[in-house]
A and B are shown apart, each in its own frame.
Chain A
């Protein structure tokens, strides 16, 4: 059995990233688009932690922790925007959110 190298983790991270991109580009439900963005951030985190293991220092892991913090802030603000928008127009489909002001 081939031993598990860093490349294996990078391939998994690339697959998760592309699945997140598919979710952002394809789905109509706004909440699922926001969750796909979280999946993209997770893929980047996996990449960073894999490289941190490869080089033997902790810089990748510290960066990953900052990305988790940033993802939390972004999820809160994005969902706040969604709720504020939902109060005006009762839809959660991205293709029905097409007016700047009405």
Chain B
């Protein structure tokens, strides 16, 4: 099939290896998630989650979202997972990795999650006809510029998400205060 006639590609150059990279990144992310929920050692779980987060950042790049991919790698991979590794090393007692790892009720949890997955796949199957069959045109300006216009506003006006951005900074302040006060030995 002529790649330029593919209605799913609306940019100039036709990608030649899209299915390969999609299946590779999706497979890596799911393998990483499976490893994370089954490992006995918490550090192995954290490393598997980092693999998943990096694969999802690759998927964002395939979806023409480079800024979100960058935010994902820097904030999630470089901030949150490093925090998790610090805390794992603080609280991980040696005997923990030799005790029972799964809840007593794990079959019930697994069954409920399978029902949830069936519900999601059923909803996707039924809603498939509601999605448009051509992808819309991506905006002309660069991705970062577009997100900056949404978050900060441009040309003297407030953006659509400027208020949410300020509230998010307030949320981070509250989280910092909470984390510092909770971990103090004497308040």
Chain A: residues with CB nearer than 8 A to chain B? Answer: 1-12, 14-23, 25-29, 31-32, 34-36, 38-39, 42, 45-46, 49-50, 52-59, 61-62, 64-66, 68-77, 79-84, 86-87, 90, 92-95
Say what secondary structure dominates the interface of chain B: helix
Of residues 68 to 94 in B, which have CB atoms within 8 Å of A's CB atoms? 68, 71-72, 75-76, 79-80, 83-84, 87-88, 90-93
Distance A76 CA – B114 CA, assembled complex (angstroms): 30
Partner of A29, one of B80, B101, B113: B101
Q: Tell me the minimal C-beta distance from B4 to chain A in angstroms.
A: 13
Q: Which residues of A contact B96 (CB under 8 A)?
A: 29, 92-93
Closest residue on chain B to residue A17 by CB atoms: B120
Distance A71 CA – B100 CA, assembled complex (angstroms): 29
Q: Tell me the minimal C-beta distance from A98 to chain B in angstroms.
A: 13
Contact B175 A10 (CB under 8 A): no
Q: Which residues of A contact B105 (CB under 8 A)?
A: 25
Contact B179 A79 (CB under 8 A): yes
Contact B52 A58 (CB under 8 A): no
Q: Which residues of A contact B93 (CB under 8 A)?
A: 90, 92
Asked if B172 lies at the interface with its beta carbon under 8 angstroms from chain A, I say yes
Q: Which residues of A contact B99 (CB under 8 A)?
A: 28, 93
